[in-house]
Amino acid sequence: MEKLIINTANAPTPIGPYNQAVKAGNTLFIAGQIPINPATGVLLNDDIVAETHQVMHNLRAILTEAGMDFNNVVKTTIFLNDIDLFTMVNEVYGKYFHGDFPARETVAVSKLPKNANVEISMIAVE
């Protein structure tokens, strides 16, 4: 099986030994994205609505680089540092999908990279 590494300057540079995404066959696995503005490198972490939009913009940039969009997404995982943020994150997240929603789980964790409040990963299929 051939793997294709996907990276774009329109999403944050990975902060560890991983790539933004890996395409294996017709399936794209996108690493968890936190609310870093790729143009400035600044982490947003004081407004969960703006943070969630930034995460979704980062994910969209990676999908676009791979020739896909949110319609290709089949599975997402949302990590929150506080489950009380769920309603606000869910409202923003839902605006990025039209028609069928992907499968998903949302989990609360004690801490995220760079002390982010939200992180989202995705799996998409051509």
Q: What is the mean pLDDT of the chain?
A: 97
Residue 1 has a pLDDT of 80
Between residues 100 and 125, which one has the greater pLDDT?
Answer: 125
**Interval 26-36: pLDDT, tens:** 999 999 999 99
Residue 1 contacts residue 25 (beta carbons within 8 Å): yes
Strands 73-80 and 27-33: unpaired
pLDDT score of 29: 98
| Alpha carbon distance 67, 49 (integer Å) | 27
Is this structure's pTM higher than 0.85? yes
